[in-house]
Chains A and B, each alone.
Chain A
């Protein structure tokens, strides 16, 4: 009966250690963690972006990039080099400091989420006790960068784009946070590592069949997915940059490296949101529900893995993340852009009530069982 309530509290007391906590010094682990976060931030989004190019191309009967690197895999690197070389123009009427700071304000939070995301057994920079809260809070900061960019560009299209982005992010932040809280309620912890661990010990009521949270909370997963796409301004929720109406929204006046930073924010956001979904709903680095990774002896087959188990765990997480990114790209190709009023209606009239209902039901079940 109470198998679902396997002591998350114990975990919360003893914070699990990162594999990068080597030696007794302070500096080495910190440097390693910085390198880890930066490496993830600058490599994984490129992988996601490459996949987007290729998948989108194939779905549209094209080939996608083919010339830069093997099978065009270095296309985004080439693009990055190109963006660095380009002239960095600032409109004369722009609020220069705000204009220049905006891409950074958008980019840095997207980068900082990687701090708490667990990519495998012990493969994370830090296991914050309030990891989920941190992740959701820092995501919300990105919208500041977007609003700043829209305002400072001194361009009506930029302003419209920025305001739309602000409205959209506020509207979808709410259901996103509610369904994330639901997961935290079920797991009994706000630590992302703890949530993964909780999933490995969550059993179907009355049986010993292990389940990920995606099964009891499939509604929550759907809401999170839609809200995440809207948060990232991904098509079909890309009204803030809607090319056909707003030129390029809040990015209209940006060029060169600043534009590249906005783009990187978007691709990085795709990865972080997917990683959050993997952690919250898809069992983290678990291969299948109830199947421990080979070589892992720790709690639920999730910790104290050897080298092979660790690598395998990271591979499983990455595979899940890229699968979610694939679905995002798939939806982008399949669906046309929504209207602004449709967007708001979906959020306030459908997603928010549903997520509240979801929260209520899960809470009741949690208490009952």
Chain B
């Protein structure tokens, strides 16, 4: 036991420990000559990606030491569409951080809603005087290039929507570049080609061959007008969507012309697709860079809507044929009912069906359509809403009933 130890043994042990460490390797890192691997999220310096900055001033206001200096001016952006309203936009003039006051709390980075501020691992920016630590936008932008990539997602994680968007955008840019080059090559090869056909061809090529998804013509025009690339791109995208819609409609019309017996073009299209989603909407949303899941959900909703519209259209198409026989009866009913005047909104619709429901007068007496009510409750609607809707449904039904009776008469 230690009780028998001679006095002073502890002192010798202490000497033993220190002498042992004399021969161990020093753990010093010879800093200026060699560098350590910094942790990936090291808080070295605050970097600015000024293209993301919207001059919202959140960072400046949240900064505990108030050393973020932001200056900006407003610029008027011409309306996006013909007849639209001109918008004002803040343009960043100065963004400076005084690192002599910074305590590296990172609140500005946390609070930035547009990912304009980042932590960079750069830390070697000491100065001989304090005023040298006030760094302006250009220096902060340089540091932004040293920000490391975010850590990889876990296996099987969903890609964040904005990242997916950014990737899609980058791919688009690349393809656009390729398309531009191709176009340039073609233009060189066939300079005699007329402007019209070329234009048309380019437009077609854009959404058929390429997945470029922006309207090259609009884009070029806007660029030529001196707009920033970002604005031009977004506008060209809108133009593309518009054009594609027009093309779809034209195709559909052409199909209709070929087969006039077919009902409305869109329902027909849906009928052909058995996928239960609206392919057109889906394609459009995907083209707009929405994630697949969102596009599918929206396309499904669009399908249901369209299906309903188609069914109604079919029903309407069938009705005139059946109703022709009873025109007089209906007219007579119209004559007897002066209530026809209080439906001016329906004037645009064909006169005959318009008279059907709105001309009927039913006194709401508190009855509700039990079937509708049950369905709405089942869908999770509140009871009040379900009741009022069911009441409306009952009135509608009643009217229909009356109309049918009249029709029968």
Contact = CB atoms under 8 A, between A and B. Distances in A.
Interface string B23-34: 111111010000
A92 interface: no
Contacts of B28: 61-63
A335 interface: yes
B14 A63 contact: no
Contacts, number: 37
A360 interface: no
B28 to A, nearest CB: 5
Contacts of A330: 15, 18-19
Given A66-B30, A335-B11, A61 B24 contact: yes
B261 interface: no
Contacts of A59: 18-19, 21-22
Contacts of B25: 61
B13 to A, nearest CB: 9
Interface size range of chain B in the complex = 10 to 19
A322 to B, nearest CB: 15
B48 to A, nearest CB: 36
Contacts of B26: 57-58, 61-63
B9 to A, nearest CB: 13
Nearest to B19: A330
Contacts of B24: 58, 61
Contacts of A61: 21, 24-28
Interface string B361-390: 000000000000000000000000000000
Interface in A23-78: 55, 57-63, 66
A334 B22 contact: no
A334 B27 contact: no
A63 B29 CA distance: 9
A334 B30 contact: no
Interface string A234-276: 0000000000000000000000000000000000000000000
A369 to B, nearest CB: 30
A94 interface: no
A334 B10 CA distance: 11
Contacts of B11: 334-335
Contact of A58 (B14, B22, B30): B22
A5 interface: no
B17 interface: yes
Contacts of A333: 18
Contacts of B19: 59, 330
B30 A60 contact: no
B18 to A, nearest CB: 4
Contacts of A58: 21-24, 26
A291 interface: no
Contacts of B14: 334-335
A346 interface: no
A171 B103 CA distance: 51
Interface size range of chain A in the complex = 10 to 19
Interface in A275-297: none
A59 B15 CA distance: 11
A301 B192 CA distance: 114
A345 to B, nearest CB: 14
Interface string A303-338: 000000000000000000000000000110111000
A363 B75 CA distance: 104
Interface in B316-372: none
The listed residue with most B CB atoms (<10 A of its CB), out of A61, A63, A334, is A334
B390 to A, nearest CB: 82
Contacts of B15: 330-331, 334
A335 B19 CA distance: 13
B407 to A, nearest CB: 101
Contacts of A60: 21
Contact of B18 (A57, A66, A334): A334
A55 B11 CA distance: 19
Contacts of A334: 11, 14-15, 17-18
B20 to A, nearest CB: 9
Interface in A325-359: 330-331, 333-335
A268 B165 CA distance: 73
Interface in B1-57: 11, 14-15, 17-19, 21-28, 30
Nearest to A54: B22
Contacts of A62: 26-28
Nearest to B17: A334
Interface string B50-92: 0000000000000000000000000000000000000000000
A96 B76 CA distance: 73
Nearest to B11: A335
Contacts of B22: 55, 58-59
Interface string B166-193: 0000000000000000000000000000
The listed residue with most A CB atoms (<10 A of its CB), out of B15, B22, B24, B27, is B22
A170 to B, nearest CB: 25
A60 B181 CA distance: 65
Contacts of B18: 59, 330, 333-334
Nearest to A331: B15
B261 to A, nearest CB: 92
Nearest to B28: A63
A90 to B, nearest CB: 29
The listed residue with most A CB atoms (<10 A of its CB), out of B18, B27, B28, is B18
Interface in B266-295: none
B334 to A, nearest CB: 103
Nearest to A335: B14
Contacts of B27: 61-62
A329 to B, nearest CB: 10
A55 B24 CA distance: 12
Nearest to A327: B15
Contacts of A63: 26, 28, 30
A66 B24 CA distance: 17
A126 to B, nearest CB: 38
Nearest to A57: B26
Nearest to A55: B22
A201 B143 CA distance: 76
Nearest to B30: A66
13 contacts: A58-B21, A58-B23, A59-B21, A61-B24, A61-B25, A61-B26, A62-B28, A63-B28, A63-B30, A330-B15, A333-B18, A334-B11, A334-B17
Given A59-B21, A62-B28, A331-B15, 4 more contacts: A59-B18, A61-B24, A330-B15, A334-B14
The 4 closest A-B pairs by CB, nearest first: A334-B14, A334-B18, A63-B28, A63-B26
